[in-house]
Structure formats: structure tokens, C-alpha cells
Structure 1
Amino acid sequence: MVVFTEWFEPVLLVVVGFLSGAINAVAGGGSLLVFPALLATGMPPLVANVTNSVAQGPGFVGAAIGQRQDLKGNSRRLWLTSAAAVVGSALGCVLLMVLPGKVFDAVVPALIGLSAVLMAFQNTIRKWLGTPDESAPDRTMFLVLGIFFASIYGGYFGGARSVILIAILVLAATDSMRRLNALKSWLGMIGSAVTLVVYALIAPVDWIAVLMLVPTTVLGGFVGGKLAQKLPATLLRYLVVVIAAGVAVYMVLD
């Protein structure tokens, strides 16, 4: 369990948890703030990763509940993608636990860097993907495989998972952006639920840190949601990108 050696460390987690929730509500990518904060308390990278993943879960639940009406109308797509998310997330969690810790230590800077790039070019990616064609049929095989592999990534690390999910949905599913965004939130909630169960059983989750982060993250998400129209989403997103890139460089050089 986390042992605070400096007075500011618990304060840091509380503040970062709040900011993470607010940023997730406005721009996404808040988990990339929590991960380095956990490292700053002296937590090993693997423990910080699983703790961060568990602590971020409630945010997806709130988003999915708020958008539940937009999930109606295509039960086949919902069941297929949900199944892919469950299996992929579980596999990602198991890979994290089975592979040697040095593998995670080696690849996590690259994963953080990838997350930072996805966050930086999120709007560009959305413009490149264009508006979904609501009249065309789903590309079911591509959709299911894409969600499966994105969920493996989410179970293993998870940074910027929402950006990957929405990109796959826009490419492979045909519906309004509002409904696809609701499906993205649902799949994020499914993945987080699987992650919570698997990590609770087999991973070294720091539950003290989770108990500190969850309420502050939820509160931050509530405040961020209320202020979403007033807060500069682009500025917040690039702040996350700069911090994530700095953490990636630090971990490479350390």
C-alpha cells in the first residue's frame, strides 16, 4: 500500500484526482495525469497502472448512464461489441500480470507517448474520419476485431482508450456521432468493470490510493461536466499532452 513520505503527496493525489475527473468530462485523457502522480508517491509503475485503471472506472459509469437512451435500437451491435470488450479487456489484464514486469517497464513510455499523440491529434483524427454514413451497413468483422484489440490495449494500459474506441466506431459502425459516442462510453464502462474484477483478484491494486482518487475523480467529473462549455477543452487537452510527453521522456531517461 502507498506510504506517504511527504505531507504534500496525499494532497497531490486529491488535487490530481479532481483535475482528472474534470479533464475527462471536458477533453478526455485525465488518467494520464493520475499515472505520474502515483509514480511521484514512490509507487512502482505496474502498481500505479493497475491502481489508476481501477480508480478511473466510476467516470465511465456516469457517462454511460447519462447516455443510455442513445444505446437503444441496435441490440446486435451492442451485444457483439460488448462481448469483444469483455474478452479483450480480460486478456489485456491477464497479459499485464503474466508478462514479466520488465516488459511493462520497457513498453510503458511508448504507450504513454502513443496516448499523448492520440490526445494531441484527437480533433484531426475526427476530421479525417469524417461524419459517419448512417445509411451504410456496419462493417461487423472490422468493428468486432477493432473493439477486441482496443480493449486488450485498455486492459493492459488504457491511456487514451476512448480516442481509439471512437475512431474504430466511426470507421466500422454506421450511426449518428451521438449514438456512437454513447456506445463508446458503454464499452469504456464494460472494459473498466472487467478491469476492476480481474485486477481485484490478481493484481497489486493500491486500494488506499483508489479510495482517495475515486471520490475526487467523481467530484471533478461533476464539476467539469457543469463547466464544460466554459472551460477551454483544447488548452486542457494540450496540458495533458505536455505532461504525458514529459513523463514518457523521463521514464526513458530514468
Structure 2
Amino acid sequence: MCKVVLITGGSSGIGKSIGEYLIQKNFVVYGTSRNPEKYKESKFPILALDVKENNTILKTVSTIIEKEGRLDVVINNAGAGITGPIEEIPEAEIKNNFDTNFFGPINVIKAVLPQMREQQSGLIINITSIAGYMGLPYRGVYSASKGALELLTEAFRMELKDFNIKMTNVAPGDFATNIAAGRYHAPLLETSPYKKPYGDTLSLMDEHVDNGSNPNLMAEAVHNIINTGNPKVHYKVGEFMQKFSIVLKRLLPDKVYEKLLMNHYKL
């Protein structure tokens, strides 16, 4: 029996790559977008869903279950970038980012758990970020929202153990996607005390994305996780040094690690 997969944010970038890879492996895949009419050429169905609107989550989950009779894998991939000096990011934008990157996945999880509990099986994969393991300069809000989802997953795993529902995190590094185009950028103000360091860091971040890894690496990693009987708590996918930076944070004194980050960002 083919497994049924739901991928939020499956219309582009990492989500699209995962979906296209999985249909080649004979999975039944549904992606989502806030504007599905833009993706009529998609190789798998794109349904209307905005992770900030719970009614759209419930409707889409219900639609899939009515059609397929089950839901085996949910990939919480929908997310939003945000950059800027924390002092200068409007509170509304900070809340908006957490609504997308943290509260959105929570509501998707809540919507699918009753079905997975009924079928006594299921796998939920939360796409987080290597940035969620460290507070990065001018990406602090993004780091915080993804880090919060990492910790939430750890708690959820223990709460779900009696129902044969698995959950894991997959933290990507920099991948060649269009995330930079959809990211909220706090304006680079001429009068800002952060003008030069923020501007320099912004250029460096965009360069990292432009030179990022092929999203198919994420697709292969997710496929391997789905075929794993007992997934680990955390997975990291990306360049060696990006993954190794997490190891260094565990090993090095806090101030030494902070100095490494500052050197990297030329701060």
C-alpha cells in the first residue's frame, strides 16, 4: 500500500523537491500553498493551506483523509525567513514569523494526530534549520522560531510514544532555494547604528543561499527517514562545516564559540 504524504509549503524549494522525489518512489503526495492556482503544472496536487489560518489546515487534512482514508507522513516544511537587528524588527513581524514557523506547525500536528492515533501509526517530520541551534546575528528571530520547534519536537516525541506515532526534526543548512526572496528584511536604514554590520551580514547570507546545496539532498534524507523504523530525534542536512558548527557549540566555551561566529560574519 502506498503511503500518503502531506507536505506543507510543497509548491517550491525544499518542499517541492521532496514531493517530486517521493512520487518517484511511489508515494501518494499532497503539497500545499496559500495560492495553489499558481501551481497547476505541479507534478502532485497542491491544496490551499495557510499555516496561519487553522480553518484551512483542518479543511485540507479532512480533504486528504476523505479521499485516501489515511495519512501516513506529514512534513511540516512551510516556513518564513526574517532578518534584521532585533531592536529594529517590528513586533508584528516577529509575531508573524512565529505564527508561520512555530504555531503553524503546532496546529498542523494537532490536526493530524487524531487520524494517526486512529490508524495507530504515523510519522511527522518538522523541517527546522541549523540556524535553530544557535543565535545568529541579524537572524535572531529566525533562530529562535526554529529552535523552539526543535525543542517542541523533543517533548512531543515522548508524549506520542504510546500511540506508535513518530516525530523527528530535520535541520537543513543553506540550500539553493528562493527563501531569500520571500524573507522579511528589516529595512537597511541610513540612520541605523546597525547599518554597516547588518548590510554586510545580509549580503553574506544571500551569498550563502545562492551557493547553497542542491535541495535534492533534503529529499533523499527525508526519504531515508521515512524508511527508518525508529527515526532519531534530530537530523542535520547540509555542508560539513554547517553541521560541524553544532558540534563545536557543544564542545567549545560559549565565548569562544561566539567569537567564531563573529569572525565568520566579520562583526
Structure number with higher strand proportion = 2
- The structure whose Rg is larger is 2
TM-score by length of 2: 0.29
Higher helix share: 1
State the structure with bigger RCO (CA 8 A, min sep 6), 1 or 2. 1
Q: TM-score, normalised by structure 1?
A: 0.30
